[in-house]
Amino acid sequence: MHATEALAEADRLMTLCNSCRYCEGVCAVFPAMEMRRSFGDGDLNYLANLCHSCGACYYDCQFSPPHEFNVNVPQVLEQVRADSYAAYAWPGILSGAFARNGLVISIVLALSVAGFILGFRAAAGAAFLSVETGPGAFYRVMPHNTMALLFGLAFLYAMVALIMGVRKFWRDIGGTEDDLGSGSIWQAIKDASRLRYLDGGSAGCVNEDEKGNDRRKHYHHATFYGFMLCFAATCVATIYHYLFGRQAPYPWWDLPVVLGTLGGIGLIVGPVGLLAAKFRRDPDLMARSNRGMDVAFLVMLFLTSVTGILLLVLRATPALNPMLALHLGVVFALFVTMPYGKFVHGIYRFVALVRYAQEIRSGKTSIE
Amino acid sequence: MTDFSRKYDVLIAGGGNAALCAAISARRAGASVLVLEAAPKFYRGGNTRHTRNMRCAHDSATDTLTGPYPEEEFWNDLLRVTEGETNEELARHMIHESKEMLVWIREQGVRFQPSLGGTLSLGRTNSFFLGGGRAMLNALYLTAEGLGVDVAYDAEVVDLDIEHSFFKSATVRLGTEHRTVHAGTLVAACGGFESNIGWLKEYWGPPAENFLIRGTRYNQGGVLKLLLAKGVDRIGDPTQCHAVAIDARAPKYDGGIITRLDCVVLGIVVNEQAQRFYDEGEDVWPKRYAIWGRLVAGQPNQIAYIVFDAKSLKLFMPSCFPAIEAPSVRELAGKVGLDPSALEQTVATFNAAVQPGHFDHTQLDNCRTEGLTPQKSNWARRIDTPPYYVYPVRPGITFTYLGTRVDKHARMLMADGKPAANMFAAGEIMAGNVLGRGYAAGVGMTIGSVFGRIAGREAAINARN
């Protein structure tokens, strides 16, 4: 009846939770659950991606283990969520990347970094360790257009793969075209940007014990906004390059550097904080098999920012080209693995929030 | 750190809402406090684990309450559900104090939310705990422990040393070990005896073996029994308990809210012989759900079956177990071990007696049977649309009414009418003072919080003197 054991267990839990409803005020999962009386795989994948893993319902629940009803919503939905990433991956043949995600990401990262370093070494020859300064210093070995084309294609591929996955997910969870432009998407943007549902309904995210706090929320904000600032830095630099003919590297006070540095700091503090929170997390709340994927993504983000900042610090030294190759290798690996790693959690969760906003507007209910 | 060798100012037996409110209020009044919870940590809190709201008077709407609920209206509601079996002085005092409770309990970390889906009728009167009763308990425990209240789990009070009306010490079972704990005052906030099948059998006989208990197995009533044996005055009918019909597939203990069934009014209810035995549509469900436990308890083997058809399936809150389904009444009977011909006959007779009318499950609709005994007075519709459904039900015991008599300061009264020297009670163990019979949603928690707070404060003062 269900595609996986985790989905069958999620069905059991949601049926049980639906007859209790005490957690209705905790997050969006439970109100969305209440709009249903039975739970197909699409419904469960939707609910699983609405869940922000705040853990509050586990400690609030009178039926969580060791109770014989064994209600562990955060753990089961985490497993369903992780499985859903594979189920919606495009092309489907690559969904296996989620099975041993930590290993896959590590290999791609290693190959990518090795490729860039060897490529730089071969292309630069003796100039690999020379000191380069002035406009265009970054592009002496790899011309800007080559770099833009390579990364543009990688990014484009990631976008296409993500969009294909989202299409499948959206159809599966019963998404419609109602109110998309007129409010549901905007509502989802507001909910996602504030992490509205990562606070246990105001008591705080529960991570290591029953005391709620907002640490995971803050570290996630640092990560997300750090990422966005880095993205903005890249965009500004691209505009500088093509519109104003100003070539990198830019002075430390210039916009791309300021944005990139601030973002880089966020992308160091955030992932480190989230990793620490993950290792302190109550093991009962976690699905055992997903740690590799979670850690791989956080480490990748961390390496992106660390190599970026090292590049900034060392750009006037002979380490410029090795650091540039290293940084580009990490970023390239980040781009191509986007559709096949934890990055997708943000996409599917956002889409689930859009669907939730849509359902709230349509006034769905399970009791006639 | 719990130190069983020291003498605490206030010893609290119990670990639910009343106990924690008493502990916090005593501690805030400067007393040293030890809480003895008989259950292990996960099962702490007695029936509070399964609650979801409390009923407090208030003069205007709030962020989570839709309108005012004046003291007089609360009093009238209480008078109605208890049919006068209440102590007016205590009840009015509690209702008055409940107003401030809405503020006080928030200050102890408890959070509220608007009324839950399917409970809109309570949105004005009852404050719902965000995350339910266990979340509320967690907040109270965090606050109590932060204030320096000591808490011991798996700590059952097995004896009390009481001289005349003066509490001296308690004997506590900690695992296999027994310890004597001395304290200046005692607050008994450890509930009734609903989980004590042996005790229930004293009044109900062998049928009590078939009762399901909605709360944990730890509500044994041991302290209540000790207090009554040592001269504390009793209140409440010992034979009475709050019993509803719950899904017969529920576990023996701690099935909580999710085993309840709200579909009696939508179908017919038959016993083991596939015979109806009571008017299922006598009145709106909130006014009748609490009689069905007793009704089922009166049937052979304490089991009954709610039978309905496809028309009604989506008209009530789903329970945690799926309804048993079959394409015909005959097959349905077979699935639950009823005599197929007898059930067919009962359904056919019922269907033939159903009068035409305009069905409306949201109010008394006068859709009834004619010439049927017992009749169905409302919501009678032919059971004729497959698939057919059945839920087996048994009596589910929520709480008992027997308790200790108290005055408005939550001080226990002795059988000779004199106040106890240093013993107080709060919560279900003294609920019978206010709620002699019947029930109104959220009143148990009001009794617990208000008298818990009073008991803690008074015990702290008593311990100082």
CA atoms of B187 and B460, how far apart (whole Å): 10
Closest CA of chain B from A280, distance in Å: 20
| Candidate from A57, A62, A366 with C-beta closest to B133 | A62
Token pair 């006639």: residue: A368
Per CB-CB distance under 8 Å, the chain B contacts of A66 are: 42
Could you tell me if B120 lies within 8 Å of chain A, comparing CB atoms? no
Q: Tell me how far apart the alpha carbons of residues B97 and B279 are, in angstroms, rounded to a whole number.
A: 39
Collapsed DSSP state (helix, strand, coil) of residue B112: strand
How far is Cα B31 from Cα B25, in angstroms, rounded to an integer?
9
**C-alpha separations of B406 from B33, B89, B99, B357, B387 in Å:** 21, 11, 21, 51, 54
Q: Output the pLDDT for position A364.
A: 74
B349: which residues sit within 8 A by CB, 6+ positions away?
Answer: B372
pLDDT at B419: 98
pLDDT at B116: 76
- Give residue B422's pLDDT: 97
User: What is the rounded distance in angstroms from the CA atom of residue A130 to the CA atom of residue B453?
Assistant: 77
| Mean pLDDT, residues A226-246 taken together | 94
pLDDT band at A368; cut points 50, 70, 90: low
CB count within 10 Å of CB B245 equals 29
Whether A31 has a pLDDT exceeding 90, the answer reads yes
In the numeric block, the tokens 């006034």 are attached to A363
Residues in contact with A196: Cβ distance below 8 Å, sequence separation at least 6, in sequence order: A190
Give the residue among A216, A209, A230, A235 at the shortest CA–CA distance from A303.
A230
Q: Which of B116, B387, B320, B379 is nearest to A37 (CA)?
A: B320
Within 13 Å of residue B162, how many CA atoms lie on the same side as its CB? 22
Core vs surface per residue A192-201: b (16+ CB within 10 A) or e: beebbbbbbb
Q: Closest Cα of chain B to A65: distance in Å?
A: 9
Q: How far is B113 from chain A (nearest CA, A)?
A: 6
Which of A89-93, B293-297, B313-317 comes out lowest in average pLDDT? B313-317
Output the DSSP codes for B18-41. HHHHHHHHHHHTT--EEEE-SS-G
Q: Mind telling me how many Å the CA of A213 is from chain B's nearest CA?
A: 13
User: DSSP letter at B305?
Assistant: E
Which among A19, A24, A62 is the nearest to B50, CB-wise? A62
B44 interface with A at CB cutoff 8 Å: no
Residues 6+ apart with CB under 8 A from A172: A41, A42, A45, A46, A88
Q: Which pLDDT band holds residue A44 (cuts at 50, 70, 90)?
A: very high
Name the average pLDDT for chain B: 96
Q: Identify the pLDDT of residue B82.
A: 94
pLDDT digits (tens, 9 = 90+) for A89-137: 999 999 999 999 999 999 999 999 999 999 999 999 888 998 988 888 9
Above pLDDT 90, what percent of chain B?
A: 93
Contact A215, A279 (CB under 8 A): no
CB B369 within 8 A of CB B353: yes
Angle between the N-to-C axes of helices A144-172 and A41-50, in degrees from 0 to 180, rounded to the nearest 10:
120
Contact B131 A210 (CB under 8 A): no
Provide the terminal-to-terminal Cα distance of chain A, rounded to the nearest Å.
Answer: 26
Q: How far apart are CA B290 and CA A321, in angstroms?
A: 79
Tens digit of pLDDT for each residue in B205-260?
999 999 999 999 999 999 999 999 999 999 999 999 999 999 999 999 999 999 99
pLDDT tops 60 at residue A190: yes
Residue B1: the pLDDT is 67
- Walk me through the domains of chain A, giving residue ranges and CATH numbers: 97-174+194-340 (1.20.950)
Name the residue facing B131 among A16, A18, A56 (closest C-beta).
A56
Give me the pLDDT at residue A135, please: 87
* Cβ–Cβ contact B61 with A under 8 A: no
Chain A residues whose beta carbon lies within 8 Å of the beta carbon of residue B49: 62
| Residues A13 and A43 sit within 8 Å (Cβ to Cβ) | no
> Do A201 and B111 lie within an 8 Å CB cutoff?
yes
Confidence of residue B118 (pLDDT cuts 50, 70, 90): low
What is the rounded distance in angstroms from the CA atom of residue A277 to the CA atom of residue A72?
19
Inter-residue contact B4 to B181 (CB < 8 Å)? yes
Question: Which residue in the block uniquely carries the two structure tokens 């998407």?
Answer: A185
How large is the angle between the packed helices A41-50 and A73-87, nearest 10 degrees?
A: 110
| Banded model confidence at residue B265, pLDDT cuts 50, 70, 90 | very high
Compute the average pLDDT of residues B332-353. Answer: 98
> Which residues in chain B are contacts of A22 at CB distance < 8 A?
52, 116, 129, 131-133, 135, 257
**Which residues in B lie closer than 8 A to residue A12 (C-beta atoms)?**
none
Q: Do A210 and B42 touch (CB under 8 A)?
A: no
- Written as one string, the DSSP assignment of B373-391 is SS---SS-----SSSEEEE
Our CA-based measurement puts residue B316 at a distance from the nearest CA of chain A, in whole angstroms, of: 6
From A59, A201, A367, residue closest to B138, measured CB to CB: A59
Q: Per-residue pLDDT averaged across A31-45, rounded?
A: 95
A58 backbone dihedrals φ, ψ, rounded to 5°: -70, -45
Q: What pLDDT band is residue A32 in, cutting at 50, 70 and 90? A: very high
- Per domain, the residue ranges of chain B are 8-237+402-464, 244-396
Contacts B116 to A, Cβ<8 Å: 21-22, 24
User: Between chains, do A15 and B117 touch, taking CB under 8 Å as contact?
Assistant: no
Cα atoms found within 13 Å of the Cα of residue B376, Cβ hemisphere only:
28
Q: How many whole angstroms separate alpha carbon A218 and alpha carbon A233?
A: 22
Cα distance between residue B273 and residue B271, in whole Å: 5
pLDDT of B385 strictly over 90: yes
CATH of B8-237+402-464, one of 3.30.70.100, 3.30.465.10, 3.40.640.10, 3.50.50.60: 3.50.50.60
pLDDT single digits (tens) A135-188: 889 999 999 999 999 999 999 999 999 999 999 999 999 998 877 877 899 999
Statement: B244-396 belongs to CATH 3.90.700.10: yes
Contact B132 A368 (CB under 8 A): no
Q: What is the mean pLDDT of residues A35-48?
A: 96
Residue A39: DSSP 8-state: -
Nearest-angstrom CA–CA distance, A362 and A174: 13
What pLDDT score does B458 carry? 98
Give the separation between CA B279 and CA B273, rounded to whole angstroms: 17
- B50 touching chain A per CB within 8 A: yes
pLDDT in tens, A314-348: 999 999 999 999 999 999 999 999 999 999 999 99
Candidate from A19, A62, A211 with C-beta closest to B142: A211
Residue A92 DSSP symbol: G
* Bridge-based pairing state of the strands B324-326 and B388-400: antiparallel
Report the C-alpha gap between B12 and B453 in whole angstroms. 12
Average pLDDT, chain A: 94
Helix (H) or strand (E) holding B146: helix B133-147
Contact A15 B320 (CB under 8 A): yes
> How many separate helices (H) and strands (E) can be counted in chain A?
13, 2
Query: Are the C-beta atoms of B27 and B115 separated by less than 8 Å?
Result: no
